[in-house]
Amino acid sequence: MKINLNNKEVSMAGESFSVRELLEMMKYSFPMIVVKVNGHLVKKEDYERIFVGDGDNVEAIHLISGG
Amino acid sequence: MKSRLEKLKGTCVGIAGCGGLGSNCAMALARAGVGHLVIVDFDVVARENLDRQYYFIDQVGQKKIQALQENLRKVNPDIIVEAHDLRLGPDEVVRVFKDCRVIIEAFDRADMKLMIIETVTERFPDKFIIVGSGLAGYGGNNALRTRRLGNLFICGDETSEVSEELPPLAPRVGVVACLEANQALEIVMDDLEPAGGDDVWDE
Residue A53 lies in a domain: yes
pLDDT band at B197 (very low <50, low <70, confident <90, very high): very low
Cβ–Cβ < 8 Å for B183, B130: yes
Give the end-to-end CA distance of chain B in Å, rounded to a whole number.
Answer: 34
Q: What is the pLDDT of residues A2-61, one digit of tens each?
A: 999 999 999 999 999 999 999 999 988 788 999 999 999 999 999 999 999 999 999 999
Residue A67 lies in a domain: no
Per-residue pLDDT at B123: 95
> How far away is chain B from the Cα of A47, in angstroms, using its nearest Cα?
14
Residue B91 lies in a domain: yes
pLDDT band at B65 (very low <50, low <70, confident <90, very high): very high
B116 backbone dihedrals φ, ψ, rounded to 5° = -75, -35
Contacts of B161 in chain A (CB under 8 A): 30, 64-66
Q: Read off the amino acid at residue B42.
A: F
Residue B203 lies in a domain: no
In terms of residue numbers, what domain contains B174?
Answer: 2-189
Cβ–Cβ < 8 Å for B18, B26: yes
- Higher pLDDT among residues B59 and B1, named by residue: B59
Tally of domains in chain A:
1
Per-residue pLDDT at B199: 56
Residue B48 lies in a domain: yes
pLDDT at B157 over 90: yes
What is the ipTM for the molecules in this complex? 0.90
Tally of domains in chain B:
1
Residue B16 lies in a domain: yes
pLDDT band at B45 (very low <50, low <70, confident <90, very high): very high
Residue B200 lies in a domain: no
pLDDT band at B168 (very low <50, low <70, confident <90, very high): very high
Task: Decide: helix, strand or coil at residue B41.
Answer: coil
Domain containing residue B20: CATH number = 3.40.50.720
CB contact under 8 A, B108 and A63: no
For the entire predicted model, the pTM comes to 0.94
Residue/partner pairs of A46-52 with CB below 8 Å, 24 or more apart? A46/A19, A47/A18, A47/A19, A47/A20, A47/A23, A48/A18, A48/A19, A48/A20, A49/A18, A50/A18, A50/A19, A51/A16, A51/A17, A51/A18, A51/A19, A52/A3, A52/A16, A52/A17, A52/A18, A52/A19, A52/A22
Cβ–Cβ < 8 Å for B42, B66: no
In terms of residue numbers, what domain contains A26?
Answer: 2-62
Residue B197 lies in a domain: no
CB contact under 8 A, B114 and A63: yes
CB contact under 8 A, A61 and B17: no
Domain containing residue A27: CATH number = 3.10.20.30
Residue B199 lies in a domain: no
Per-residue pLDDT at A57: 95
